[in-house]
Amino acid sequence: MRRRHGTIKGQLSLDDFDAIQEEEPAARGAADDEPLRRDGPEPWARWLPARYSQIQDPDSYFAALGQEVARRIGDLMLDLAGGDPPEGEYLAKVARLNVARRQAEEIVLAEEVLLDPEPEASPAEEENPSAPEPVPAVVERGHPLWEQVNAEQMERLQGS
C-alpha cells in the first residue's frame, strides 16, 4: 500500500489517520468501526441460511467481520484517493476522499457482506399477496382501472 505524507495546517496527516485506524473501535465511534451495524446479521439469516447456520457465535463473527471490512475500506480508500496534487485545494481534497471512501465501501461490501442469495433462500416472505395493486398516477379511459380512479376522483370533488 502506498503511503503519502503531508498535511494541511490544522488537518490530520496520514500518520495521524494511521494512528486513528489503529485505535480501539470504540474510540473511533460506532459509525466507523463496523459498517455491518446498518443491517446486522438478519439479511444473512434470511438470504444466506446455509452459511449463517454454520456460524457458531454470530455476535463475535459479525463484530470481527465488521472490523475487517472497516480496515479494508480504510486501506482501499487511501489507495483509490491517490496522492495530493501540488496545488490541491481543501474542498477538492475532501471531495476526492469522500468519493474514494464511497467507492471503497461499495467494492468491499460487495465482496465481503452483500453476497448473492443462496438458491434455497426464499424471497416469498418479502412479497405481500394481500397488498392492493398500486394505482398508476395517470390512467387513460382505456385502462382497466379507469372507472375506479374516476369514481374516486368524483367522490373527492363532491366531498370538497
Query: 8-67 pLDDT, tens per residue?
Result: 444 444 454 455 445 544 444 444 444 555 666 788 888 888 888 898 988 889 889 889
Structural domain contains residue 91: yes
Structural domain contains residue 114: yes
Average pLDDT over every residue of 92-101 = 92
Task: Domain of residue 62: give its range.
Answer: 14-123
Structural domain contains residue 150: yes
Cell 372507472 -> residue = 147
**From CA 157, how far away is CA 160, in angstroms rounded?**
6
Question: Rounded to two decimals, what is the model's pTM?
Answer: 0.54
Structural domain contains residue 2: no
Structural domain contains residue 92: yes
Do 61 and 103 belong together in one domain? yes
3-state secondary structure of 60: helix
Provide the domain count of the chain: 2
Sign for the CA dihedral angle at 139, 140, 146, 150 comes to: positive
Structural domain contains residue 6: no
Do 45 and 112 belong together in one domain? yes
Do 101 and 150 belong together in one domain? no
